[in-house]
Amino acid sequence: KPNPVHVAVTGGAGQVGYALLFRIASGQVFGPDVPIVLRLLEVTPALKALEGVAMELSDGAFPALTDVVLTDKPAEAFDGASWALLLGASPRKDGMERGDLLAANGALFGPQGQAIGQHAASDIRTIVVGNPCNTNAMIAAANAPDVPADRWFAMTRLDENRAKSQLAAKSGTPVGEVSNLAIWGNHSATQYPDFANARIGGRPVPEVITDDAWLNGEFISSVQKRGAAIIAARGLSSAASAANAVIDNVRSLNAGTPAGDWTSVGVQSRGEYGVPEGLFFSYPVVAKSDGTWTVQEGLQHDERAADRLRVTIAELEEERAAVRHLLG
Ligand code: NAX
């Protein structure tokens, strides 16, 4: 049997955790024959609820799940981890300004980044889901200078999946036919879901969906505001679809993206497409099965798209300015 993969998950007692952990344990992410150790980090008051989740994991009788570690100590949670899935974050409370939220989360992601740097396995890859995920990822990475920059990710896969689903519905095409969908920028309402470079059945989307007003209007805004629409309908934020996106994200980074395609994920900019260096920016990323990846170069943006990119870059720069003191 291969060695177990240690997967650290923070916020394991939360809603996304509840939808995610059972699917990891079932072997859907790493394969049915790969033993898994789940290392679950929670804040101390949530440890009891976390124990309940662990009881249910046990009751799942998952053959691949060899151990579950429950802890409120980051050093223990990340010890020997090859993956860190950071779901835990401080929710926005009444009266909190955006800067307050950024600072509250910065205070959490700095120490978690440090613990990852000190205790995780040498092949550690970290995906930040907890919002604001791009800037939280930047803070965590800045606090673990020995972990290579290309091992840190911020999740925009849910936005990618949402966008693909909208395009499939509009064109009456199965969603599996939609490819090359890039989310550019921040995981926020300023993101740019790039229909122009996306394809349906291999053809450029604007050739298949000729309603330009819909593409540039309702499509973009419905993807940007989908999170709010789910809250309005369900009374709770997206959880199962978010967990599904985490799984898709890990699988793409692990197995690689299909030939000719890419996936969307926030990574540390090295200046690609004029994005300031160091920002965590969602790009089209081509991943290989050896764990390496590159930003897809050479895509074109028209004036409207370029304007949208400027807006999301400006927002990420503001976020960076608000947490600069946490960047080491
Ligand atoms: P919940 O509030 O249900 O769960 C969060 C859990 O994190 C709680 O159990 C809490 O105790 C725990 N936590 C807080 N601080 C922690 C810390 N320092 N260490 C360990 N655990 C800690 O939120 P949930 O709906 O599960 O969402 C989790 C996060 O994902 C939120 O920040 C949310 O904004 C973010 N989302 C991001 C998405 C994305 O696409 N990037 C989509 C889904 C989700 O909304």
ipTM: 0.98
Alpha-carbon dihedral angle through residues 62, 67, 71, 76, given to the nearest 10 degrees: -140
Residue 150 has pLDDT above 90, yes or no: yes
Q: What are phi and psi of 21, to 5 degrees?
A: -65, -40
Atom of ligand 1 nearest to the CA of 133: 41
Prior bond to 276 cis, omega within 30? no
Give how far Cα 315 sits from Cα of 87, 135, 253, Å.
22, 10, 27
d(CA 244, CA 270): 29
Give the mutation target among 10, 15, 16 for probing the ligand 1 site: most ligand atoms within 8 A of CB: 16
Neighbours of 15 (CB within 10 A): 16
Residue 92 confidence (pLDDT): 75
- Nearest in space to 78 (alpha carbons), one of 10, 143, 136, 17: 10
Q: Which residue has the higher pLDDT, 309 or 101?
A: 309
pLDDT at 40 over 80: yes
Nearest CA to ligand 1 atom 27: 16
In the numeric block, which tokens belong to residue 224? 């940007």
Its pTM stands at: 0.98
**Token pair recorded at residue 125:** 């890859």
Binding residues for NAD(+): 11-17, 105, 112, 129-131
For 159-206, what is each residue's pLDDT tens digit?
Answer: 999 999 999 999 999 999 999 999 999 999 999 999 999 999 999 999
Domain boundaries, the chain: 5-154, 157-322
Ligand 1 atom at minimum distance from 18 CA: 26
Calculate what percentage of the chain has a pLDDT beyond 90: 92
pLDDT band at 310 (very low <50, low <70, confident <90, very high): very high
As a whole number of angstroms, the distance between CA 283 and CA 263 comes to 8
Report the largest interatomic distance among the alpha carbons of the chain, rounded to a whole angstrom: 55
User: For the segment 50-68, what is each residue's pLDDT rounded down to a tens digit?
Assistant: 999 999 999 999 999 999 9
In words, the CATH class of domain 5-154 is alpha beta
CA 281/CA 277 separation, integer angstroms:
10
Among 42, 143, 246, the mutation site with the greatest number of ligand 1 atoms within 8 A of its Cβ is 42
Determine whether domain 157-322 maps to CATH 3.90.110.10: yes
Which 3 state secondary structure label does DSSP give 32? Answer: coil
The residue written with tokens 């010890």 in the block is 79
Residue 100 pLDDT class (50, 70, 90 cuts): confident
Using the predicted structure, report yes or no on whether residue 93 has a pLDDT greater than 90: no
- 277 vs 105: CA distance, rounded Å: 22
- Which residues are marked as active site? 187
